Amino acid sequence: MEQELTGLRRELIDIETVTGVHPQVEFRVLGVGPEQAGGSLTALLKGSRSKVDGVLVVGVAGGVDPELETGDLLLAGRYALQNGASQGAGSAIRPNPQMLQSAQQAALDLSVPTFDGGSLTVDHLVAEPQERQELLIQYQIHSVNMEDYRAAEAAQKAGVPFLSVRVVLDTAGQRLPG
């Protein structure tokens, strides 16, 4: 996963070179899965020597809403956890309004359409279209991933603004190998 950050770091250097602005940004890999992501972010926030102004999670998601296509940009308006009540999770967590508005404006400025339905954090790969349809009906969400809820929860507990930005990788009707 560290390889994926190489491109982001390069882009940031290019932006700094062109604009002369040097934002204080750190890139970190949280890991795959709800507990890994939540635990990693909790440790990162507790161990930070400086004030963290916000957490932006960037990744991919599985589409659950049949309207979503590969490459669509997701700015979820809420993060839920599958079977959350049985796992000690509270209700859905909402992203920081200012971060969400900034991301929406940036996408609008670039003429990139966004989708804002909720995301569901699961603990397994949702490989079958039938399961995706069931999750859509049960949770009324647009996408699934394995990190958002627990990462948002860790940020919320630390009092740090949070937003997840994801791109649809696989669509609702797509069967995944495995």
Question: Residue 3's pLDDT is what?
Answer: 63
State which H helix or E strand residue 56 sits in: strand 55-63
Domain encompassing residue 38: 31-170
**Residue pLDDT, tens place only, 108-152:** 999 999 998 899 999 888 889 999 999 999 899 999 998 899 999
Predicted confidence (pLDDT) at residue 86 exceeds the cutoff of 60: no
Question: Residue 143's pLDDT is what?
Answer: 95
Question: Residue 164's pLDDT is what?
Answer: 94
Q: Indicate whether 176 belongs to any domain.
A: no
Q: Indicate whether 10 belongs to any domain.
A: no
Assigned token pair, 141: 């969400």
Question: Residue 23's pLDDT is what?
Answer: 65
Q: Indicate whether 2 belongs to any domain.
A: no
- Mean pLDDT (whole number) for 55-75: 92
CATH of the domain at 134: 3.40.50.1580
Longest CA span, the chain: 50
Q: Indicate whether 6 belongs to any domain.
A: no
Assigned token pair, 69: 């296509």
- Return d(Cα 74, Cα 76) in angstroms, integer: 6
Question: Residue 107's pLDDT is what?
Answer: 93
Identify which has the larger pLDDT, 31 or 18: 18
Q: Indicate whether 17 belongs to any domain.
A: no
Handedness of CA 140, 145, 146, 151 (dihedral sign): negative
Q: How confident is the model at residue 172 (pLDDT cuts 50, 70, 90)?
A: very high
Question: Residue 32's pLDDT is what?
Answer: 75
Assigned token pair, 147: 């990190």
Question: Residue 53's pLDDT is what?
Answer: 84
Q: Indicate whether 18 belongs to any domain.
A: no
Q: Indicate whether 23 belongs to any domain.
A: no
Predicted confidence (pLDDT) at residue 89 exceeds the cutoff of 60: no
The total number of structural domains in the chain stands at 1
Q: Indicate whether 86 belongs to any domain.
A: yes
